[in-house]
Amino acid sequence: MTKLDKISDDLSELNKLFQMLEQGLIEAESEEELTKELSELFEQSEFALKEKADHYAYTLQRFEGETIPFLKKRAEKFSSASRRIERFCDFLRANIKTNLQRNGITELRASSFAFKLSKTKPNLKIDAEDLIPEDFKYTETKTLIDKESLRLALDAGEIITGAHLEEGVALRIGVNNGK
């Protein structure tokens, strides 16, 4: 349980106590004094919740404004660098292969590594798709759901088996202008 969860639980319990007090379910020697104590605890918990929420917002702003974009940019650079290295490896491999083939060498033992040219399964090359006999063709059918029209139909009140609309809640964080 996070500190925010604990604060939220405390506020929830205080709200329940307030309701019970208002409904006369709690008997107290001095209802006024109990109400005052509960109010103070409520204010402290509410303040703690506001403080914690502010800290969450500062962290979100920092991560979303700086950290995540920085890491994404780094990821792009690393991805780009790895693609360049992969292309260079392909070049090195092709260069060794080409030079072995050009010199009629099928096997080469260097001081650290051994290289051997071996036959592979032939690659299929299609020269003209329209000339390929029908026996070697198939039709692929893919059924997709038109989610936008489905949403509109459900929104209009239509009942559709297999789908429903679910209400959601979004958290919006903005600067508190004191209003």
**What are the sequence ranges of the domains in the chain?**
3-117
pTM as predicted: 0.51
- Which tokens belong to 32? 């006024």
Mean pLDDT of the chain: 86
Judged against a pLDDT cut of 70, whether residue 147 lies above it is answered with yes
Higher pLDDT, 129 or 19: 129
pLDDT per residue as tens digits for the range 23-51: 776 666 666 766 777 777 778 778 788 88
- Give me the percent of the chain exceeding a pLDDT of 70: 91
State the DSSP H helix or E strand holding residue 53, giving kind and residue range, or none if neither.
helix 31-62
Q: At what angle do helices 31-62 and 3-22 cross, to 10 degrees?
A: 150
pLDDT at res. 116: 94
